[in-house]
Structure 1
């Protein structure tokens, strides 16, 4: 194997990253980090996502390009059509960041069929189909790439009023493991604390770092997972939680 200089191992120069939910605050900061590392950004924005103006400014400052596509990630025909349009415009993909997410909190009894369907469609089925479309394109182009799926601590820790969301995100974790086996042969906080202020003390009191994660805490791990530095990592879950899960004995 040829030796890659360490600076190049952490570079995304001339790479293209497709990011679902890219204008959501956390995803926007990760998009910016990937652009700062050299990647051009292709954003898929759903109707509930913030507008793209702030993301456009963030990417413009890095000198990289941004293309914006619109599709409801939970509407599978629309999502597939969106990827078809991306491929028709000759985008050559290198990285997929499956970030798009939506949640509706409530007790088990309060969750309606519509809420359950929406949460599963966006967080699990939409992520599956995006990875499927991306992976199929890489295979067609005979091109290597990276798929990074964004889950949640609710996939690992028992929390209240998030049963459907937790089930969907746990599915994302197992989906990542299973997909990695196939492909290796050929990765919302402020509204929660505003609505449930008791959660702030509950979480920070149990987190060794003594605070919630910020968008800046995810920049390094996303760049790492996107670059050649992580080429021998596959199907694993990397937890960015300030020590919360270890403190709970997980």
Structure 2
């Protein structure tokens, strides 16, 4: 009999992982890290190249398979269709990483309805719809790992990003709500909480000398995170090592929340 201590706790060989928002940044790093741990990848993004994408090149270089799909996460029908396409694959989805996201920056008094609706659709509503569709089949099998990408603004309010803060606070609640229902049925639902990561979404902050200095002063580690810093936590939440972890928001923030 194999005891928990003798299992290959971080081995994802034979697993199929779906990573949304996988074209660049965090999603690209997550897909590559999951492939390095042994998983085959379904990479999804709104503008993902059908062939020759960087994510496909990185995954296949590791000896894993990579299927690339496009989906507009602001379009409810497209997200539902993505769920159906994933259900039609020859292999079941073992891991779902909900990473697709967007952000709109404007003072709250100037934050337009279009920006609000768009951010909520991509960052919250689409996450629930896709998780519902994929999770339903995980529940039928009695196994699966679901990982959301939350944010420090799942805890805090941020500045000039009211839609994003609301959506990411919603992701925190959704993570706990689904875990409450699904943990006893063999499906783990958790979220990784990236701190300030050097990606396209944070370029404006990093290029603002005042904001950049204020952020770095608050981070005990003294630097912005790289996407790879977040990817290891996602591998943990997708792997057997986290089988008894449910409804958790795992900060990877350089110590920001501890300050």
Cα distance in 1 for partners of 2:165, 2:102 equals: 11
Q: Do residues 145 (structure 1) and 132 (structure 2) align?
A: no
SS across alignment from 1:242: coil
Residue aligning to 1:165: 164
Counterpart of 1:233 (choices 229, 236, 245) is 245
In the alignment, structure 1 segments of 5+ residues that lack a partner are: none
Residue aligning to 1:9: 9
Q: Deviations over 1:107-166 (max 9, x none)?
A: 0111111110000000000111111111112123x1401000001111212321111100
1:90 Cα deviation (Å)? 2.1
Structure holding more strand per residue: 2
TM-score (norm 2): 0.89
Q: Deviations over 1:150-207 (max 9, x none)?
A: 0111121232111110010000001000110011132245423355342211110111
Cα distance in 1 for partners of 2:209, 2:19 equals: 30
Contact 2:49 2:68 in 1 (8 A): no
1:5 Cα deviation (Å)? 5.4
Superposition pairs of residues 84-233 of structure 1, within 5 angstroms: 84-140=84-140, 142-186=141-185, 187=190, 188=199, 189-194=201-206, 196-233=208-245
SS across alignment from 1:159: coil
1:7 Cα deviation (Å)? 5.9
Q: RMSD in angstroms over aligned alpha carbons?
A: 1.8
